[in-house]
Amino acid sequence: MRAGNRALIRAHARLTVIPHEVRVRVTRGAQVLTDVGLPFVVQGAEADLRAPDGAVLGRVAVSIQDVIGFVKLVSRQTGTEVVVRGEGRVASSLSAAAHAPLPASGLVRLAGRSYIGRSFKEADFIGKPLTVWVLDPVA
């Protein structure tokens, strides 16, 4: 890290990735030293990288979930449908909702069923905006 050898940093980041990590990014200030993994990833944890003397060498961000996996997990665990859109990418547990116009909140009819929907804004792994909709089926 001190030398700024990007090839070595990238190689080390790839070696330290455990099976559940889907993206690792190492930065120094605004400079990205390495960024490995999947492209459509939810925000992860961040921490300073420190030398043995305590000096801050950079920062590491690690995510263990891509957006597609997030959508599947939330839908499976809660029984609601989930749609995430951002930067020309879409992940949806309900194919009819993937590209349909969705209100920020309220009633929506998709594929012959009615849903109560709510949306919220979130950021992806690198801070780009996402919109997340949760659609609960109306009984």
Residue 16: pLDDT over 60: no
Confidence (pLDDT) at 6: 67
Report residue 107 CA to chain centroid gap.
27
Confidence (pLDDT) at 13: 59
- Provide the token pair at 77: 């665990």
Model's pTM, two decimal places?
0.78
Report domain extents, the chain: 6-63, 67-137
Using CA atoms, how far residue 84 sits from 22, 36, 39, 129, 135, in Å, is 18, 22, 14, 10, 11
Write the pLDDT tens digit of every residue in 29-75. Answer: 999 988 988 889 999 899 998 888 999 989 999 998 999 999 999 99
